[in-house]
Amino acid sequence: MQASATLETPEAAFTPAPAAHPDRATLLRAYRLMHTSAEMARLYEENKAVTAKYVHASARGHEAIQLAAAFQLRETDYCAPYYRDDAFLLGLGLTPYELMLQLMAKRDDPFSGGRTYYSHPSLRRPGIPVIPHQSSATGMQAIPATGMAHGVKYLESQNQLPSAAQQPVVVCSIGDGAMTEGEVAEALQMAVLHQLPIIYLVQDNEWGISATGREMRAMNAYEFAAGFKGLHRLQCDGADFVDSYATMTAATQYVRERRGPVLVHARCPLLGHHTSGVRREWYRGDNLTEHQTNDPLPRLHQQLLTESFEEGELGYAAAAAQATVQEDYQRALAAPNPDPATFADHEFAAPVVTQEAGQRSPAGADKALMVDAALHAVDDILQEFPEALFYGQDVGGELGGVFREAALLAKKYGDARVFNTPIQEAYIVGSTAGMSAVGAKAIVEIQFADYIWPALNQLVEELSKSCYLSMGKFPVQSLIRVPIGAYGGGGPYHSGSIESTLLTIRGIKVVYPSNAADMKGLMRAAFLDPNPVVMLEHKGLYWSKVPGTEDAKTVEPEAGYVVPLGKANVVQEAAADKLAEGDTCVVVTYGMGVYWAKTASKQLPGQVEILDLRTLNPLDWEAVMAATQRHGKVLILTEEPLMNSFAESLAGRIQRHCFQQLDAPVFTLGAVNLPAIALNVELEKQMLPSADKVLTALQELLAY
């Protein structure tokens, strides 16, 4: 599946069918739904005291291209509409009543139960294409949608699609202003590299709120797409239903037959406001009058008269559409609001793994390094789950990752399952949302923790919110591996710790193993979990070469061994006599902190318990409280700078909930509060915690 160095453009070999003309039933349906959409926009404006309580946008001016696109799709297809696409949703089979339930944030909103904006769908329903959740962030839908197409192509190659699915198509709808986003270019790059079955439908109304096309871009989307060799391009008059229908039919035919990407650039007028919160008359001026001359509804009316439709027939269709909208509006007004008691439902999908299972220390097994345990865990998963695939920078081919943590997996499983990506962290992470929606299960890798920042848009907006905002319909199964931590001179861009930033993102899980056995068991649990999981893997523990980290090398568990997420582990107990005397403390830590604490505690025999959290979210709060109550003295140890960190947050939580059991303030120890780790190893040592620094803190704590 890897692209060759000289990808050939496929357009020359494609012979499209004659331009499709819609039949009478399709024309009449389009006319009725165009009136439906227009009446909804009129009603929303007329009743804006009610309808503008929450923000919305309308499809006015875009109805022709949206309906033409929707009419091409089957229930086995996938689509990613954007926030102006209510006519598209009507064309798929949604009713005005259902859209109005979302408009007013009602309980029975079929997409989100009142949790997200109008025309932000997420739906699994027979007879309608699958519509995964997506955010409002313009342009960001391109990566998850491309991930859907990527997953479809992979599952096709493995004969894993449902038998009813026939050459499924993904449609990504997007505005022309959003085409300037860098993440869109990442999506297009992958679509042409892997020749993915996706249509990028670009609706160009020449406006981005108050900014004009001339201000925002040097070229339109059709011209921009010419730079992506292998991307088939089409243009149409998006205000002309007949032209739009012919173009979308040709685009869909191309993707179904060729299984390659298409970009359709549709020029549309903007007849409504950008959104209900922005009044068009404040900045549009004469431009609004100009756009109204290209209204697709009267244009279709005239076309239908030339197609021998009668005025009476068209009048009846328009009246029926208007009556439906008015009736649905009154029903939606009377519909119940969500039950406030359900506000916290669906933060996560229920975990699959709830108990430790399998042999952690099988008889006769050799000890394994953490890096090898990780490799073997992924190998086991790929063997057992054909829907699993693994990708990231340098993980494919011969290298198998810069730490050899994926060594030779590409040779074993093929380039369709284990492959390199461009330097595109946003795509690596965001594509997993699309993969998950179609049934593929992605394991991906960010090469260093310091490189994850370009992926945060996708991690926050697309992955973390999907389960909650779709009412549990679209949890994102995503395992994101991230090598982390300082390791002897890695410098400012290869040594950082990022867990506190990740832990401010609700809706993701964060795992941090400290030894080979936990690495293998937690890796499997993270893969099986139906939610996004970030696996932080300390580079300094991979090979147990750092003095004091020898215990990170453990007997390797058997295949299938699993450790549930959210369960801490006491890796060192205090002596019973010391505990009885009240002369003990607990170090609550994870990752490299486990080994700093172990080394330091050798100078304090029997006095130090070490609690390895293993999972930072969900946190094993019960284990933390129990350890606090046992000892009354707590040190939170981290590799991160302390200011505003997870460690300080946990210390505050312990003091709030366990105050009466404490015999001393909760101590914290971490790196010095500096913006980066210096390259020179002596400067690095000054910044980071160490066993000596831990010993000093423990002595002070025990003497308190």
Helix 241-258 / helix 24-46 crossing angle, nearest 10 deg: 110
HSE toward the beta carbon, residue 387, CA cutoff 13 A: 17
Q: Residue 28's beta-bridge partner residues?
A: none
Give the CB-side neighbour count of residue 48, counting CA atoms within 13 A.
14
Q: Facing residues of 565 across strands? A: none
Q: What value, to the nearest 5°, has the Cα angle with vertex 593 and ends 443 and 458?
A: 30
**Cβ contacts of 525 within 8 Å, gap of 6 or more:** 351, 353, 562, 563, 564, 565
What's the CA gap between 129 and 509, in Å, rounded?
Answer: 29
Q: At what angle do helices 646-657 and 621-631 cross, to 10 degrees?
A: 60
CA angle 605, 610, 613 (to 5 degrees): 175
Sole residue written with tokens 């040097």: 218
Token duo for residue 554: 């453990």
- Could you give the CA distance from residue 99 to residue 110 in angstroms, rounded to a whole number? 8
Which residues fall within 8 angstroms of residue 131, CB to CB, at 6 or more apart? 78, 79, 80, 81, 92, 121, 122, 123
Number of H-type helices and E-type strands within the chain: 26, 21
Least Cα distance to 596 among 661, 666, 651, 549 occurs for 549
Q: Hey, which residues are catalytic here?
A: 494
Question: What string of H, E and C letters represents the secondary structure of 492-521?
Answer: CCCCCCCHHHHHCCCCCEEECCCCHHHHHH
